[in-house]
Structure 1
Amino acid sequence: MNPNPPAPLKVIIVEDLPSFQENAEKLLAQQPGFTLIGTCATVRESLALIKATKPDLLLLDIRLPDGNGFTILEKMLPFQCKVIFLTCYEEYAVRAFRYGAIDFLLKPLDEDEFKEALQKVNNVQPLLQEQLNVTLDSYLESKQLDYIVLRSQQSSQKVYFKDICYLQSDDCYTNFFLNNGMKEVISKPLKYYEEILPDSFLRIHQSYLVNKIYIRRYYSKEGSLHLKDGTQLPVSVRRKNLVHRFFKFW
């Protein structure tokens, strides 16, 4: 037995609706390694409590009576704690978080998803200013951007769609192959990125998503797609019609 077990992570819940706040408190109490040090319902209350207690983790609602969760984060710079957003399903919110590589949970909270998110907290770094900027650009202006943040355990970087040649699935990971020859390995499945990347990306195989601007030639008989840098990728039988359609209107 470890004689000096790590201290539990201090958590603040920022949520203005009592039912959702109680739900989050109940689920948090079931998770070892975390202790609730306070709850808040407004931006003003949250900033005061965060300053006084210096939490390790915020469970942060977007919409609050006197502002939103982004306001809290902007006033916390530089970030000293980790953040998981809580939100009702909104197209712009979900897309914004994914663009910024910010963890979020949909309300009402699912027990398994909540548990999984907390289990990952120890391996996640505090937010970067760039992540917040990307998320704010997408959410507050309700627009689709031309870049996303790719976040691994080692680093985070802003990547423009035009610089992504193709993506390759690797179980629960996705390999990003960039036009500078670099490869980034991200712990999200390919399906995750297929849902948020624009129509300029074509799914040609269960394991591949390709940026159309890098396609050079398609060999239908052998089911092979050649990219401008010489890379050859397989086209699955069920995706051949999509590839044919792309070349028809190319």
Structure 2
Amino acid sequence: MTKPIRCLLVDDEPLAQELILDHMAQLPMLDVVGVAGNALQAIELYKNLKPDLLLLDINLPRMNGYELLKSLPGKAPWVVVTSGYQEFAFEGFENNVVDFLLKPITFSRFVRAITKVQERMQAADELPAAPSLAYPTVSPTGQLSVKDGNKLINVSCQDIILIEAMSDYVKIQLPEQVVVSHQRVSALEKLLPTPLFIRVNRSFIVNTAKIRQTNGQQIEMQNGHTVRVGSTYRGIVGSMIRSGL
């Protein structure tokens, strides 16, 4: 039987707490070990309970959620941000969060975030004991590990400009190099943090922090690469433009 994920919920809004706790109660793989209403309480609970996962609101009194993360002792936890403010998303991925959930959080979106946490945790647990582990993997510190031929390449997710699918290979565009890895783009799509990375057509995933401009039909990246937005992905890109990302 898989060990449950021990979770600490940090949120100062009673209604938000109630909704998230209800979502968590429906997922048997989650074990709620504590609930904190502010950052100082969360730090004390974290020290004593040592949870695997933080479900973390950002707009907290006195100390915000990102400041809280920097104050935690010991090994960095897995983190899913829960926030009513989309503008906190990019800073979240600078802090290597697994996912960003915009309130009000639907159950289906919550399940997707927890599934992503499970995949990351499983990959991290298997890595030391299994040198032949199938890559890609993403570490809690935001390092993407992929194979380039016989070499293992570690890159920071934040440095990726875009990823292009080429049949059973992917081409990962970085500022100073291109990494070609024998794997499907769908494997990377499941691991990369959203909304920092979005699929814009069948062949391309882009880093939204590296977009220079877009009109919803095509996207120009900071390195000058232009990517067409597929018709089925235009709603996602349109939402991104409306939110100011």
Instruction: Quote the Cα distance in structure 1 between the aligned partners of 2:163 and 2:216.
Output: 9
1:201, 1:156 → 2: CA distance?
A: 26
CA contact (8 A) 1:168 1:190 kept: no
Give the aligned residue type for 1:197: K
Contact 2:172 / 2:178 at 8 angstroms: preserved in 1? no
Residue aligning to 2:70: 74
Q: Tell me how far 1:200 sits from its aligned partner.
A: 6.6
Structure 2 residue corresponding to 1:197, chosen from 200, 210, 215? 210
> C-alpha separation between the residues in 2 aligned to 1:82 and 1:235?
34
Q: Distance in 2 between matches of 1:71 and 1:97?
A: 11
Matched letter for residue 179 of structure 2: M
Check 1:170–1:85 CA distance in 2 against 1; reply closer, same or farther (3 A cut).
Answer: farther
1:127 aligns with 2:124: no
Q: CA deviation at 1:95?
A: 3.0
Taking only the aligned residue pairs, the percentage that are identical comes to 23
Q: Which amino acid aligns with 1:38?
A: G
CA deviations 1:22-43 (Å, max 9, x no partner) are: 0000000001211111100111
Cα distance change on mapping 1:105 and 1:175 into 2, 3 Å: farther
**Residue type of the alignment partner of 1:190:** R
User: Deviation at 1:194?
Assistant: 6.2
Deviations 1:178-213 (A, max 9, x none): 4423236632543363644322789998xxx67575
Correspondence 1:33 to 2:32: no
Equivalences for residues 17-28 of structure 1 within 5 A: 17-28=13-24
Greater C-alpha radius of gyration: 1
1:108 equivalent in alignment to 2:104: yes
2:178 pairs with 178, 181, 199, which one? 181
Query: What amino acid maps onto 2:212 in structure 1?
Result: D
Q: Which residue in the other structure is 1:48 paired with?
A: 44
| Conserved? CA contact 2:212–2:220, under 8 Å | no
CA contact (8 A) 2:210 2:222 kept: no
Distance 1:117 1:211, change over 3 A: closer
**Quick check: 1:157 aligned with 2:170?**
no
Q: 1:67 to 1:202 in 2, by over 3 A?
A: same
1:122/1:11 Cα in 2 relative to 1: closer, same or farther (>3 Å)? same
Report Cα offsets for 1:146-176 as digits up to 9, x if no partner. xxxx746885516557xx5x642579x9742
Deviates more, 1:179-188 or 1:12-21: 179-188
SS class of match (2:210): coil
Q: Give the aligned partner of residue 131 of structure 2.
A: none
Q: CA deviation at 1:84?
A: 0.4
Question: Measured at CA, do residues 203 and 170 of structure 1 come closer, stay the same or move farther in structure 2, by a change above 3 Å?
Answer: farther
Relative to structure 1, the CA distance from residue 198 to residue 88 in structure 2 (aligned partners, 3 Å threshold; closer, same or farther) is same
How far apart in 1 are the matches of 2:38 and 2:77? 18
> Residue type of the partner of 1:94?
A
For 1:111 and 1:46, the matched residues in 2 are separated by: 24
Structure 1 outlier segments of 4+, above 6 Å: 200-205
Give the SS at the match of 1:19.
helix
Q: SS of 1:96's equivalent?
A: helix
* CA deviation profile, 1:51-92 (whole Å, cap 9, x unmatched): 1111011100001112111122111244342110111133x3
**Residue 174 and residue 45 in structure 1: after superposition, are their counterparts in 2 closer, same or farther (change >3 A)?**
farther
Secondary structure in 2 aligned to 1:22?
helix
Structure 1: runs of 5 or more not aligned = 132-149, 216-224, 226-233, 239-250
Q: Distance in 1 between matches of 2:216 and 2:171?
A: 14
Unpaired segments ≥5 residues, structure 2:
122-138, 147-152, 193-197, 232-245
Q: What is the TM-score when the length of structure 1 is the normalising length?
A: 0.61
